[in-house]
């Protein structure tokens, strides 16, 4: 076979590659299909027809493949959205969707996307990471795994905080794996991403409005409905708006052991972010009352950060202890202490105990969980975590 552009005869390897591209274009999602099959790729970013990037090992790389033109990208967009009955156009240029395997997709097209249609795919892990794997990756230590498991089993309300791409959903999945199989779990997501292993799980997902602007169901409505479903635990994939108020109400009215994530760069920022989201509910509640509800509801904040080498680490395990005047009081139980890095060494340092014993350790004892107080002392063992 001869290449029409160069006039060169294609060898067997080139013919096989060409055949693969044709199959991907006809049956799959075109140039991004090989990246979807690659289990080492975690995110795919299409910045117009000529620029396809992907993340592997925490680093961004550029693909050698490209779309033919903007129309080719739109064909793939329509193929993604059609199964869910959604579409994008100039009147409605943004859409969220998901692939059959659960991968999350965001799409934005012109006129909002100036350089052509943009597709962002957050891939869905075929096998969710376990606590043991996160310990091996250095996300947290065995001691911290012990503490987190005890916190979940003792039904503390935990908020996982971090920036974009820091691994919040992954850690939330791991925390949920510590919940017993005899509990009824209600998950609320936008869109659905969690991979819970328990059998008794009800998964709720938001719904965007139709082309006529009707039928939208937001997380706030789902949180309210979940309270009527006899949940033992409510897990919210990410708190983004006014549903924060309903979440706090649930945590403060007997629905202990709730888990959620929030976008914030520090534990204190996480509380401030929740406060701002409660204000979105439009209720005339005094600032001090909101803060009192937050500190009464939230027991623990797990803070994540992403380092320059692409690794994702827990940097703080922080207890919310109460109020000091008008300000929420907190104490760090574990903190990531950085050290001078050697050339090529990115996230040099260790997650170490601060020496402070959490007030909630009494709840461990009431729940029949034995955790050595020495675990919170500097220089002690790294924990005895087992799966």
Output the 3-class SS for 283-327.
CCCCHHHHHHHHHHHCCEEEEEEECCCCCEEEEEEEEEEEEECCE
Residue 245: phi and psi, rounded to 5, are -65, -45
Choosing from 122, 157, 184, the residue where a domain stops is 122
Report if residue 188 sits inside a domain: yes
Are 174 and 86 part of one and the same domain? no
Mean pLDDT of 138-162: 95
For residues 107 and 202, state if they share a domain.
no
Instruction: Residue 295: give the domain boundaries.
Output: 131-376
- In this prediction, residue 2 carries a pLDDT of 47
With respect to residue 2, please indicate whether it lies within any of the assigned structural domains: no
Which pLDDT tens digit goes with each residue over 30-83?
A: 999 999 999 899 999 999 999 999 999 888 999 999 999 999 999 999 999 988
Is the pLDDT at 385 greater than 50, yes or no? no
pLDDT at residue 139 above 90?
A: yes
Q: Choose among 126, 235, 116: nearest CA to 176.
A: 235
Residues 78, 159 within the same domain? no
The answer to whether residue 384 is domain-embedded is: no
Q: Is the pLDDT of residue 107 over 80?
A: yes
Radius of gyration of the CA atoms of the chain, in A: 23
Q: Are residues 185 and 248 in the same domain?
A: yes
Which region among 9-23, 126-140, 192-206, 371-385 has the lowest average model confidence (pLDDT)? Answer: 9-23
Q: Are 334 and 350 in contact (CB under 8 A)?
A: no
For residue 381, is it within any domain? Answer: no
Is residue 385 domain-resident? Answer: no
Domain check: are 204 and 340 in the same one?
yes
Q: What is the CATH number of the domain that holds 95?
A: 3.30.450.370
| pLDDT surpasses 60 at 381 | no
Q: Which residue has the higher pLDDT, 25 or 337?
A: 337
Domain boundary among 71, 89, 122: 122
- Tell which residue, 351, 381, 358, has the closest CA to residue 151: 358
66 and 211 both lie in a single domain: no
- Model confidence at 282, in pLDDT bands (50, 70, 90)? confident
106 and 182 belong to one structural domain: no
Does 343 score more than 60 pLDDT?
A: no
Query: How far apart are alpha carbons 44 and 63 in whole angstroms?
Result: 10
Q: In this predicted model, which residue has the larger pLDDT, 346 or 260?
A: 260
Whether 178 shows a pLDDT value over 80: the answer reads yes
What is d(CA 133, CA 127) in angstroms, rounded to the nearest whole number?
11
Residues 6+ apart with CB under 8 A from 363: 154, 155, 156
Higher per-residue confidence, 11 vs 384: 11
pLDDT band of 15, cuts 50, 70, 90: low
Q: Are residues 116 and 166 in the same domain?
A: no
Tell whether 52 is covered by a domain.
Answer: yes
pLDDT band at 387 (very low <50, low <70, confident <90, very high): very low
What are the C-alpha distances in Å from 358 to residues 152, 331, 372? Answer: 15, 8, 12
Tracing tokens 């692939």 back to the chain, one arrives at 99
Residue 359's closest CA among 316, 321, 328? 321
Residue 310 has pLDDT above 90, yes or no: no
Q: CATH number, domain at 217?
A: 3.40.50.300
Residue 361 falls inside a structural domain? yes
Q: Is the pLDDT of residue 143 over 80?
A: yes
Q: Are residue 214 and residue 306 in the same domain, yes or no? A: yes
Both 195 and 255 in one domain: the answer is yes
Domain count, the chain: 2
The answer to whether position 176 is within a domain reads yes
Evaluate whether 156 touches 300 at the Cβ level (below 8 Å): yes
Tell whether 101 and 41 lie within a shared domain.
yes
Where is the domain boundary, 100, 122, 144? 122
Same domain, 80 and 185: no
User: Is residue 225 scored above 90 in pLDDT?
Assistant: yes
Considering only residues 152 and 213, tell me which one the structure prediction assigns the higher pLDDT.
152
Q: Reduced to 3 states, what is the DSSP secondary structure of residue 268? A: helix
């Amino acid at each position: 076979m001869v290449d029409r552009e160069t006039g060169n005869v294609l060898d067997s390897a080139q013919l096989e590659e060409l055949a693969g591209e044709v199959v991907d274009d006809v049956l799959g999602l075109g140039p991004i299909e090989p990246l979807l099959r690659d289990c080492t790729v975690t995110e795919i970013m299409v910045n117009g027809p000529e620029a396809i990037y992907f993340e592997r090992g925490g680093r961004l790389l550029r693909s050698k493949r490209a779309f033919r033109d903007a129309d080719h990208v739109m064909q793939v967009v329509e193929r993604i959205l059609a199964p869910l009955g959604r579409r994008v156009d100039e009147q409605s240029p943004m859409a969220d969707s998901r692939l059959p395997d659960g991968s999350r997709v965001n799409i934005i097209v012109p006129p909002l996307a100036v350089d052509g249609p943009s597709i962002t795919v957050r891939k869905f892990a075929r096998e969710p990471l376990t606590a043991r794997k996160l310990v091996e990756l250095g996300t947290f230590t065995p001691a911290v795994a012990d503490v987190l498991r005890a916190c979940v089993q003792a039904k503390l309300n935990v908020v996982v905080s971090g920036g974009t791409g820091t691994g919040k959903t992954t850690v939330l999945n791991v925390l949920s794996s510590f919940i017993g199989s005899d509990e009824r779990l209600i998950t609320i997501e936008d869109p659905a991403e969690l991979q819970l292993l328990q059998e008794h799980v009800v998964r709720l997902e938001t719904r965007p409005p139709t082309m006529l602007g009707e039928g939208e169901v937001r997380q706030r409505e789902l949180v309210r409905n979940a309270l009527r479903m006899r949940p033992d635990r409510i897990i919210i994939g990410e708190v983004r708006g006014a549903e924060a108020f309903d979440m706090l109400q649930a945590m403060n009215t007997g629905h202990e052991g709730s888990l959620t994530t929030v976008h914030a760069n520090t534990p204190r920022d996480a509380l401030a972010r929740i406060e701002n989201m409660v204000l979105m509910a439009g209720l005339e509640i005094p600032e001090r009352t909101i803060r009192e509800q937050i500190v009464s509801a939230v027991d623990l904040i797990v803070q994540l950060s992403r380092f320059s080498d692409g690794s994702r680490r827990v940097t703080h395990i922080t207890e919310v202890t109460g109020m000091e005047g008008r300000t929420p009081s907190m104490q760090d139980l574990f903190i990531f202490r950085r050290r001078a890095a050697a050339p090529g060494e990115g996230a040099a340092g260790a997650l170490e105990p601060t020496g402070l014993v959490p007030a909630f350790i009494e709840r461990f004892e009431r729940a029949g969980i034995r955790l050595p107080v020495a675990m919170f002392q500097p220089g002690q063992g790294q924990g005895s975590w087992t799966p």
